[in-house]
């Protein structure tokens, strides 16, 4: 079958780019012709542009703080505006954006570009099926503080099958959002989410399948073509975090000191570490794969930092993210790796991981995905 994937493939985010590549690769391994619907709505694309419009970024911050006092919204707008101006003047985001664009062009099979849902509806890409996913496509916090019907596949001819795959949800929806979720998802033939969510299942009142993130559907060999060469010659600990955290800092300090490892801080949001480290920020998916593959140890509070540690069979420790930690702890539980949460058990970080046992569990999770697509494509 010819299958079009719609997701956040264009985001300058390691997980977003690589989960799309992995789903495309997985579907092709099953004999399908997979491609990526190059949907880049202006409100979202501007966030990852090489040169950002400060008014658009400020407006996004303003909308994110809806319901808060005017003063707080004004400060948030001003901060977003100022950061966009500084980034544009210093060109701090330009190199990073270019690396992600290069990856998209080289490794994703892209359709014609669509800048709006109206354009998608007017001339939808030809396919036998559309798949929405993975990533947080149904979380308004990652969009324009509202749902985008394009990610509910509200386009295309009726004969085209419409499925989701491992869509990640907002943890709590308002009653108004629940009503809209149910309405928008009604036209989708099969629903698949990434994390268990009983409230969502009650809301849509339909069968919902829970499947693993696309990156975990394929082995490390599937990413070998996209990997950059080794970037750090000496042994090192790679840090990939999405927020400042005393626990992350403590874990890095303890593990790097005991193992006598150089620290490479590859956190995308300039996470601060007190331990001496080499900071790298302007890198793309190919370099990310290399950093994880060749690391002697990984410390992360990112879901995809966790996923790729498993994919490359690394020694690693996880510090749960304060607002997005559930997906990490749930994945670790399913793989029998809950002790990889730093501090859960004294000195557990020193223990070797039985990856034969981990991959036996992962194989069963992959079978759920195989069955889902076999039954619905």
Q: Are 6 and 131 in contact (CB under 8 A)?
A: yes
Average pLDDT, the chain: 90
- pLDDT of residue 347 exceeding 90: no
pLDDT value at residue 272: 81
Among 84, 28, 96, CA closest to 56: 84
- The pLDDT tens digits for 241-251 are 888 888 899 99
pLDDT value at residue 293: 98
Q: Are 193 and 200 in contact (CB under 8 A)?
A: yes
Which of residues 186 and 61 earns the better pLDDT score? 186
- Distance from the Cα of residue 175 to its chain's centroid: 26
pLDDT value at residue 217: 98
Q: Which residues of 124-137 are buried (b: 16+ CB within 10 A; e: fewer)?
A: bbebebbbbbbbbb
- The pLDDT tens digits for 282-336 are 899 999 999 999 999 999 999 999 999 999 999 999 998 776 668 899 999 999 9
pLDDT band at 352 (very low <50, low <70, confident <90, very high): very high
- pLDDT of residue 367 exceeding 90: yes
Q: Are 120 and 114 in contact (CB under 8 A)?
A: yes
| Of the candidate ranges 20-29, 66-75, 210-219, 285-294, the one whose mean pLDDT is the lowest | 66-75
- pLDDT of residue 185 exceeding 70: yes
121 cis-preceded (ω within 30 degrees of 0): no
Q: Are 172 and 139 in contact (CB under 8 A)?
A: no
- pLDDT of residue 239 exceeding 60: yes
H helix runs in the chain, sequence order: 14-29, 42-45, 54-64, 70-90, 94-107, 117-122, 175-185, 198-204, 246-259, 285-294, 303-311, 325-334, 355-376
pLDDT value at residue 346: 79
Q: Are 313 and 353 in contact (CB under 8 A)?
A: yes
Arithmetic mean of pLDDT, 181-206: 94
- pLDDT of residue 42 exceeding 90: no
pLDDT value at residue 56: 64
pLDDT value at residue 55: 60
pLDDT band at 348 (very low <50, low <70, confident <90, very high): confident
Which of residues 168 and 63 earns the better pLDDT score? 168
Which of residues 95 and 19 earns the better pLDDT score? 19
pLDDT value at residue 60: 66
Q: What are phi and psi of 211, to 5 degrees?
A: -130, 160
- pLDDT of residue 45 exceeding 80: no
pLDDT value at residue 40: 94
pLDDT band at 86 (very low <50, low <70, confident <90, very high): low
Arithmetic mean of pLDDT, 27-43: 95
Arithmetic mean of pLDDT, 141-151: 90
Among 345, 322, 203, CA closest to 271: 322
pLDDT band at 171 (very low <50, low <70, confident <90, very high): confident
- pLDDT of residue 51 exceeding 70: no
pLDDT value at residue 9: 95
- pLDDT of residue 49 exceeding 70: no
- Distance from the Cα of residue 64 to its chain's centroid: 20
> How many whole angstroms separate alpha carbon 114 and alpha carbon 127?
16
- pLDDT of residue 89 exceeding 60: no
Residue 52: partners with Cβ closer than 8 Å, 6 or more residues away: 46, 84, 87, 88, 93
- The pLDDT tens digits for 204-222 are 999 999 999 999 999 999 9
């Amino acid at each position: 079958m010819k299958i079009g994937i719609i997701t956040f493939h264009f985001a300058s985010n390691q997980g977003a780019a690589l989960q799309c590549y992995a789903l495309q690769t997985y579907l092709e391994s099953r004999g399908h012709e997979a491609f990526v619907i190059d949907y880049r709505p202006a409100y979202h694309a501007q966030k990852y542009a090489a040169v950002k419009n400060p008014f658009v970024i400020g407006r996004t911050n303003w909308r994110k703080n809806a319901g808060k006092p005017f003063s707080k919204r004004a400060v948030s707008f001003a901060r977003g505006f100022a950061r966009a101006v500084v980034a544009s003047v210093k060109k701090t985001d330009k190199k990073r954006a270019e690396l992600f664009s290069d990856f998209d062009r080289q490794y994703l099979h892209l359709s014609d570009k669509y800048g709006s849902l109206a354009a998608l509806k007017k001339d939808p890409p030809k396919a036998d099926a559309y798949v929405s996913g993975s990533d947080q496509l149904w979380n308004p916090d990652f969009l324009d503080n509202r749902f985008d019907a394009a990610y509910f596949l509200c386009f295309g001819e009726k004969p085209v099958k419409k499925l989701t795959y491992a869509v990640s949800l907002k943890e709590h929806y308002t009653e108004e959002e629940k009503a809209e979720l149910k309405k928008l998802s009604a036209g989708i033939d099969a629903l698949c989410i990434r994390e268990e969510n009983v409230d969502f299942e009650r809301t849509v009142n339909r069968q919902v399948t829970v499947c693993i993130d696309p990156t975990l559907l394929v082995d490390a060999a599937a990413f070998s073509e996209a990997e950059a060469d080794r970037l750090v010659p000496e042994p090192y600990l790679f840090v990939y975090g999405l927020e400042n955290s005393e626990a992350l800092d403590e874990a890095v300090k303890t593990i790097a000191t005991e193992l006598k490892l150089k620290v490479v801080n590859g956190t995308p949001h300039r996470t601060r570490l007190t331990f001496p480290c080499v900071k790298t920020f302007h890198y793309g998916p190919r370099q990310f794969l290399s950093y994880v593959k060749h690391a002697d140890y990984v410390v992360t509070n990112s879901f995809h930092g966790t996923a790729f540690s498993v994919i490359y069979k690394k020694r690693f420790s996880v510090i749960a993210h304060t607002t997005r930690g559930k997906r990490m702890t749930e994945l670790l539980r399913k793989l029998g790796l809950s002790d990889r949460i730093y501090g859960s058990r004294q000195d557990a970080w020193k223990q070797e991981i039985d990856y034969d046992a981990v991959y036996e569990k992962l194989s069963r999770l992959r079978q759920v995905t195989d069955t889902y697509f076999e039954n619905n494509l």
